[in-house]
């Protein structure tokens, strides 16, 4: 009995020692958790692509159905000079499709040879934007297409009725409008003019190396372009430039952090009257940006490197080194896509009819 009791006491003591040892082991301080590795400002990772979206094949409209007939008509109207009062300019005069959708001028020239008020932005990928024009006054490419035709300093047509009169005097246009808008009893109307041109523009998309990168091909960019992408994101450029078009999805005050000098254009304020919109403009999309200078609403900046430096300082309050600017510019160059040369081929136009007016034949039209 004594031997059994002694045995139990020994076991109990051993158990206490064991438990104490376990408790002591659990109480030992553990190593600090290893922090997640952070990327250097210029270090590439696919995580950096989260602000961007690959291009679609087409930007679908919400108010009508895209058909081949509408698109073909829109292509013809995009190049049609007879819907300008001088019969010398068309949409393509300021937005040259074989030149990345721009004319390269600080200010495009209207029918009278005088410069327009703002730099002409590219039409490529524009259908992805939240609105059109620098001040966002048109909600979509269909509405935008109607504006320059009637603008006195641009294509100069006096009113929609005269546009329709001209089109009706060209016999070949009626069957084209009927085919494009078969349910419309009066298909040659001004809404359909804008709708057709807008439909054509909805396919003006330019996939390129950046699209390949977004779709999973890391070899689409070289090392410098990847550094530039990383710097673009770490600097904060994606505050404004994000989405499918790398921009075009918001408005921003020019000089958001550090005031931009000598601004005279009130921007979106002239449309809304809201004080917060003073000097606010639609953020441009950056696809093909290396090909679409000069830059800003006034076309005052010709160098992409200077543009990067200015935007970092005025919009983000940051001063970049020359090496950082060079890498970011390399990234921006890599945003250049391929032009759809077959799609933008100039079509054959229907000939004039006996009543088709000539240049400036509208009563009261000014050719000077």
Residue 14 has what pLDDT? 35
How would DSSP label each residue in 184-206?
Answer: -SS--SHHHHHHHHHHHHTT---
Cα 86 from Cα 326, distance rounded (Å) = 44
pLDDT tens digits, one per residue of 251-284: 999 999 999 999 999 999 999 999 999 999 999 9
Cα 240 from Cα 267, distance rounded (Å) = 17
Residue 362 has what pLDDT? 85
Q: For residue 318, give the nearest of 245, 236, 254 by alpha carbon.
A: 236
Over residues 91-115, mean pLDDT:
98
Inter-helix orientation angle 160-168/141-150, to 10°: 90
Residues 6+ apart with CB under 8 A from 306: none
Least confident of 26-40, 212-226, 319-333: 26-40
Domain spans of the chain, in order of start: 46-55+207-333, 68-201
Confidence of residue 108 (pLDDT cuts 50, 70, 90): very high
Residue 220 has pLDDT above 90, yes or no: yes
pLDDT tens digits, one per residue of 138-169: 999 999 999 999 999 999 999 999 999 999 99
Residue 42 has what pLDDT? 87
Class of the CATH domain delimited by 46-55+207-333 = mainly alpha
Q: For residue 82, give the nearest of 344, 367, 349, 368 by alpha carbon.
A: 349
Contact 158, 45 (CB under 8 A): no
Cα 215 from Cα 228, distance rounded (Å) = 19
With residue 26 as reference, give the H or E element that holds it.
helix 2-27
Residue 28 has what pLDDT? 40
- What are the φ and ψ backbone dihedral angles of 36, each rounded to 5 degrees? -60, 135
Residue 174 has what pLDDT? 98
Residue 294 has pLDDT above 60, yes or no: yes
| DSSP bridge pairs for 301 | 295
Residue 239 has pLDDT above 90, yes or no: yes
| DSSP bridge pairs for 295 | 301
Catalytic residues: 154
The CA dihedral of 227, 228, 234, 238, to the nearest 10 degrees, is: -140
Average pLDDT over the chain, rounded to an integer: 91
Confidence of residue 38 (pLDDT cuts 50, 70, 90): low
Residue 10 has pLDDT above 50, yes or no: no
Residue 5 has pLDDT above 50, yes or no: no
Contact 86, 215 (CB under 8 A): no
Residue 39 has what pLDDT? 76
Fold type of domain 68-201 = Cytochrome Bc1 Complex; Chain D, domain 2 (1.10.760)
pTM, 2 dp = 0.88
Residue 118 has pLDDT above 60, yes or no: yes
Confidence of residue 364 (pLDDT cuts 50, 70, 90): low
Confidence of residue 17 (pLDDT cuts 50, 70, 90): very low
Over residues 334-343, mean pLDDT:
98
Q: For residue 181, give the nearest of 78, 352, 65, 76 by alpha carbon.
A: 65
CB atoms within 10 A of CB 162: 19
Residue 365 has pLDDT above 70, yes or no: no
Asked if domains 46-55+207-333 and 68-201 share a fold, the reply is: yes
Over residues 209-227, mean pLDDT:
98
Higher pLDDT, 367 or 263: 263
Least confident of 18-27, 84-93, 116-125, 133-142: 18-27
Higher pLDDT, 27 or 154: 154
Q: For residue 240, give the nearest of 228, 256, 226 by alpha carbon.
A: 256
With residue 281 as reference, give the H or E element that holds it.
strand 280-282
């Amino acid at each position: 009995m004594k031997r059994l009791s002694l045995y139990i006491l020994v076991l109990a003591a051993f158990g206490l020692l064991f438990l104490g040892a376990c408790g002591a082991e659990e109480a030992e301080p553990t190593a600090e958790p290893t922090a997640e590795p952070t990327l250097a400002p210029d270090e590439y990772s696919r995580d950096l692509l989260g602000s961007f979206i690959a291009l679609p094949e087409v930007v679908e409209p919400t108010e009508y159905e895209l058909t081949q007939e509408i698109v073909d008509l829109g292509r013809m109207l995009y190049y049609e000079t007879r819907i300008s009062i001088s019969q010398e300019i068309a949409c393509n005069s300021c937005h040259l499709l074989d030149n990345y959708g721009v004319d390269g001028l600080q200010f495009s020239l209207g029918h009278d040879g005088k410069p327009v008020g703002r730099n002409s932005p590219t039409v490529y990928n524009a259908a992805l934007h939240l609105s059109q024009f620098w001040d966002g006054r048109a909600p979509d490419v269909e509405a935008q297409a109607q504006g320059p035709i009637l603008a006195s300093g641009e294509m100069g047509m006096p009113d929609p009725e005269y546009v329709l009169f001209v089109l009706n005097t060209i016999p070949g246009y009626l069957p084209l409008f009927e085919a494009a808008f078969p349910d419309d009893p009066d298909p040659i109307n001004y809404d359909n003019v804008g709708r057709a041109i807008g439909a054509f523009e909805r396919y003006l998309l330019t996939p390129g190396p950046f699209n390949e990168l977004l779709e999973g091909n890391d070899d689409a960019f070289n090392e410098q372009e990847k550094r530039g992408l990383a710097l673009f994101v770490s600097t904060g450029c994606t505050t404004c430039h994000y989405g499918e078009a790398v921009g075009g999805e918001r408005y921003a005050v020019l000089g958001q952090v550090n005031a931009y000098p000598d601004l005279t254009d009130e921007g979106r304020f002239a449309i809304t009257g809201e004080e917060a919109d003073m000097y606010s403009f639609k953020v441009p999309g950056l696809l093909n940006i290396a090909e679409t200078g000069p830059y800003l609403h006034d076309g005052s900046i010709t160098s992409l490197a200077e543009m990067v430096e200015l935007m970092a300082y005025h919009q983000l309050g940051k001063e970049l080194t020359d090496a950082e600017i060079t890498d970011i510019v390399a990234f921006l160059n890599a945003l250049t896509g391929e032009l759809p040369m077959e799609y933008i081929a100039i079509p054959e136009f229907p000939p004039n009819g006996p009543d088709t007016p000539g240049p400036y034949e509208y009563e009261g039209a000014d050719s000077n």
